[in-house]
Structure 1
Amino acid sequence: MIVKHYRELKVWQKAMDFAVEVHPIAICFPKAEMFALTSQINRSATSVPSNIAEGNGRRTTGDYIHFLGIAKGSLNELETQLTLACRYDYIPDSVHDSLLEKSAEIGRMLNGLIEALERKITS
């Protein structure tokens, strides 16, 4: 299937849904975290679908892969921040575990897209 627009990508859609899910959780952290962990979580969550979209709009497949790598890095950063939030007792283990499962799914989807694009380059 040829994707005409990044909004058609399932990975972008899931990353958008994930960012929307994470936001209300992060804004419930203590006020002292507003400019720290809350802000970092929201920026990381926003960065994942943003980099998928930006990469899709680039001129070369190599550039696209590069931005998907940035999205993966932001996803790892987000997982780390969510784990810190759990350790700080801002979110319960059950919420943390559910969010990490969703993050892992997005990570697998990103890996699959990267692999498909790399095959395109070598063929």
Structure 2
Amino acid sequence: MNKYEDLKIWQKAMDLVELIYELMKDMPADEIYGLTSQIKRCSISIPSNIAEGAGRNSNKQFAHFLSIANGSTTELETQILLVQRLKSCSEHKIKPILDICIEVKKMNFSLQRSLNKE
């Protein structure tokens, strides 16, 4: 079992959730039960799946949950790109989120690769 709080990918994913919640404050009120809610749930899924995988009994299971987290990261990117296209938030607030998504995906692939070697 890995101590998930020590994983840099988990820490970065938690930073991403904080940025998402801050960004969602700027979203139109009519989106609170639509896109805003979906984006928040999606972002929370990323560190949650990393933590759940770290708590599993095998590297294979951990890699599986990292794969799910990667899917959530890609889903989040898509939703943020939609926010950008809808001009619901300024681009200077969106870019750092997209940059962290890319960073989390790179970290995820590296961690999955290392787990598959063991």
Normalised by the length of structure 1, the TM-score is: 0.91
Alpha-carbon separation, structure 1, partners of 2:115 and 2:72: 20
Extract unaligned runs of 5+ from structure 1.
none
- Structure with the bigger RCO (C-alpha within 8 Å, sep 6+) is 2
Alpha-carbon separation, structure 2, partners of 1:8 and 1:42: 23
Alpha-carbon RMSD? 1.2
Identify which of 72, 75, 83 aligns with 2:73: 75
Query: 4+ runs of 1 displaced by more than 3 Å?
Result: none
**1:37 equivalenced with 2:54 (yes/no):** no
**Secondary structure of 2:33's aligned partner:** coil
- Residues 42 and 76, structure 2, Cα contact 8 Å, conserved in 1: yes
- Residues 2 and 54, structure 2, Cα contact 8 Å, conserved in 1: no
Percent of matched pairs sharing the same residue = 39
Q: Which amino acid aligns with 2:72?
A: S
Report what 1:111 is aligned to.
Answer: 109
Alpha-carbon separation, structure 2, partners of 1:116 and 1:55: 14
Report what 1:11 is aligned to.
Answer: 9
Report what 1:102 is aligned to.
Answer: 100
Report what 1:55 is aligned to.
Answer: 53
Tell me: CA distance 1:4–1:72, structure 2 relative to 1, closer, same or farther (3 Å): closer
Normalised by the length of structure 2, the TM-score is: 0.94
Alpha-carbon separation, structure 1, partners of 2:2 and 2:94: 35
